[in-house]
Amino acid sequence: MDKHEPETVRSTSSYVNNGNINDHEGDMIRWFEEVSAKAGAVQTEVLCRILKENFKVEYLNKWLLVGKEEINVAEMDACALESLFTSVVPLSSHEDFEPFIQRIADGDTASILTQQPITTLSLSSGTTEGRQKFVPFTRHSAQTTLETFTLSAAYRSRVYPIREGGKILEFIYSGNQFKTKGGLIAGTATTHYYASEEFRIKQERTKSFTCSPYEVISAGDYKQSTYCHLLLGLFFSHDVEFITSAFVYGIVQAFRSFEELWRDLCNDIRHGTLSSRIKVPKMREAVLEIITANQSLASRIEGICEEVEVMDWFGLIPKLWPNAKYVYSIMTGSMQPYLKRLRHYANGLPLVSGDYGSSESWIGVNVDPSSPPESVTFAVVPTFSYFEFIPLYRHKHSCGSSHDAAAADDFVEDKPIPLSKVKVGQEYEIALTTFTGLYRCRLGDVVEVGGFHNGTPKLNFICRRKLILTVNIDKNTEKDLQAVVEKASHILHSQTNNNAELVDFTSYAELTTQPGCYVIFWEIKGDAHDHVLQSCSTEMDAAFVDYGYVVSRKTSSIGPLELCIVEKGTFKKILDCFVANGATLGQFKTPRCTNNPLLLNILHACTLKIFRSTAYA
Ligand code: AMP
């Protein structure tokens, strides 16, 4: 075993025989079974290690000094340190770390957040919060990414064994790495990971190899990379064991492109050429080195495409990749709306929901790969960071009067508790203390404990905590909006002859009119009569169950909901707008609510029709 193994993997020697898994996978599962069994104690030790390494840093100094006398952290036992830390260091949010991280980015080499210098910064996607933020990235971050992927691969192998040495069709994209003013390397966490040694090690450990060379992943133009991923995925179609992307949006968007590109792709396979749309020289060179002319494969693909095109591409994936065992990607939270289209392409091929993490830290792994994406849970890996859980209680009938959308919230919170004390059925916000210099930092996600894996909680992802739609006393989250849109999209699907379908959606609270109202934008595929879209808008308005919303609608202090139908390709323009501003396709999440003027300009400019709800009339 090598130096990258988690500490406890190296020290274990018991034997697990679970189906078709290799030695390394057996080691990973044994390791996780052990650490999850004593998760509470592992967490105390993890916090102790973080603090003993870093207690002298500037951020912690101000809390760990009593009067003028320094507390003797180095000598303290782990339990005492845990209670000291959670009683004197306050809960924080990313904004509290921003000035410190900025100094690091500008080149201040003092021990600000960590004892070891930070040389790399990650850019979180910013698609949930609306703006990108810097988070420290260290070797530990790349190693936990490797551990997450190999651990979840091990659990998947027990249920869906794959052939060793097979290929993975991975729709993955790294963005640019650039230097900050102080000379630190900055880029998205996935960009750092794909460029790291760990990415190569993961392929060797899992004995599965990505179809595309690094030149395709790192080309910096997602449209060209998608074409090459598809081309190489088709070229190796008999070897592909599973299909994946970080977020399922990436797979759906790749197959939507495939619907347009398949003739060119077949042509390239037939002749061993590469379309002139691929302009990045290094990528051209790398791809041309791999592909060779294959007439019979091209004819097979052509035959399949002609057959499934008339069925709106139903069952495309298993037809083109006959040996694929499953599709693996994050399908929860804001990714759920893309599941319908993915199921259409996958025609019964198992969908395995990807793991749970953030740029700040990995959190949990899907250890029950056969659970459907709608009910998947993530077993917290207690060695990754120190996790605290802030209990959240919903105020179903609150009538608060906050007009500040950012501050408004429909949760009341209790004091944070350690991992060992969480209860099944309770909702929490997670706060993280990481090896990368974040201390008790709120993550902003709402999770629910769905059960336990040995002694570690299994979390359901519920939603982002921040409210997304609020005009006055109403409070609706991403999840509430998603439920309402889902309900109305059934009407769209069932009441149109051609089974029109929702491609994507977003919303905003219109506050400049009196009264304000919710505006929801839909891009649809297929045609729908105006009367159907009219009922969709009324259905959505009536389907928001939040008490504040219902009362406000009844008293007309919120106006009728507006459904705006936008032209085809609008959401692709939104993706392009994010990518132009430094996000990568791999981490992109369509913002479900936006007040970003650039996006609103695109949405308004592309609006074809507006339907005003007649609910509450
Ligand atoms: P980023 O800040 O770009 O690293 O994105 C991290 C955020 O993505 C998390 O805080 C979650 O809101 C979301 N996310 C990550 N993994 C999952 C998952 N498995 N299910 C749902 N949402 C997720």
Mean pLDDT value of segment 331-359: 94
Q: Mean pLDDT: which of 335-349, 545-559, 582-596 is highest? A: 335-349
Classified as helix, coil or strand, 323 is coil
Mean pLDDT value of segment 255-273: 97
Atom of ligand 1 nearest to the CA of 587: 3
Global pTM reads 0.87
The structure tokens 């037809």 sit at 319
User: CA-to-CA distance for 476 and 488, rounded, in angstroms?
Assistant: 17
pLDDT of 440 over the 90 cut: yes
- Ligand 1 centroid to Cα of residue 84, in Å, is 30
- Ligand 1 centroid to Cα of residue 357, in Å, is 6
Residue 74 CB burial class (10 angstroms; 0-12, 13-18, ≥19): exposed
pLDDT of 164 over the 50 cut: yes
pLDDT-based confidence at residue 395 (cuts at 50, 70, 90): low
pLDDT of 11 over the 50 cut: no
Mean pLDDT value of segment 343-355: 97
Q: Mean pLDDT: which of 411-415, 451-455, 459-463 is highest? A: 451-455
> Cβ contacts of residue 310 below 8 Å, gap of 6+?
none
Best CA proximity match to 518, nearest among 498, 538, 490: 538
Q: Over the stretch 415-425, which tens digit does the pLDDT of each residue have?
A: 999 999 999 99
Atom of ligand 1 nearest to the CA of 464: 12
Q: Whose CA is nearest to atom 9 of ligand 1?
A: 358
Per-residue pLDDT, 67: 53
Best CA proximity match to 300, nearest among 248, 249, 234, 247: 234
Mean pLDDT value of segment 269-295: 97
User: CA-to-CA distance for 47 and 54, rounded, in angstroms?
Assistant: 10
- Ligand 1 centroid to Cα of residue 247, in Å, is 9
pLDDT-based confidence at residue 398 (cuts at 50, 70, 90): very low
pLDDT of 131 over the 70 cut: no
Q: Whose CA is nearest to atom 8 of ligand 1?
A: 358
- Ligand 1 centroid to Cα of residue 358, in Å, is 5
Best CA proximity match to 147, nearest among 24, 55, 46, 261: 24
Cβ 566 vs Cβ 521: under 8 Å: yes
Mean pLDDT value of segment 418-433: 97
pLDDT of 7 over the 50 cut: no
Cβ 103 vs Cβ 567: under 8 Å: no
Per-residue pLDDT, 542: 96
Per-residue pLDDT, 522: 97
Q: Over the stretch 44-68, which tens digit does the pLDDT of each residue have?
A: 999 999 999 999 999 998 888 755 4
User: CA-to-CA distance for 601 and 595, rounded, in angstroms?
Assistant: 10
Tell me the DSSP string of 276-312.
TT---HHHHHHHHHH----HHHHHHHHHHHHHHHTTT
Ligand 1 within 6 A of CB of 358: yes
pLDDT-based confidence at residue 409 (cuts at 50, 70, 90): low
Mean pLDDT value of segment 308-337: 95
Q: Whose CA is nearest to atom 18 of ligand 1?
A: 356
Calculate the average pLDDT of the chain. Answer: 89
Residues in the chain: 617
pLDDT of 129 over the 60 cut: no
Q: Over the stretch 87-104, which tens digit does the pLDDT of each residue have?
A: 999 999 999 999 999 999
Mean pLDDT value of segment 482-494: 93
pLDDT of 369 over the 60 cut: yes
pLDDT-based confidence at residue 305 (cuts at 50, 70, 90): very high
- Residue 525 forms beta bridges with which residues? 501
Per-residue pLDDT, 514: 87
Mean pLDDT value of segment 594-607: 93
User: CA-to-CA distance for 372 and 336, rounded, in angstroms?
Assistant: 11
Mean pLDDT value of segment 407-436: 91
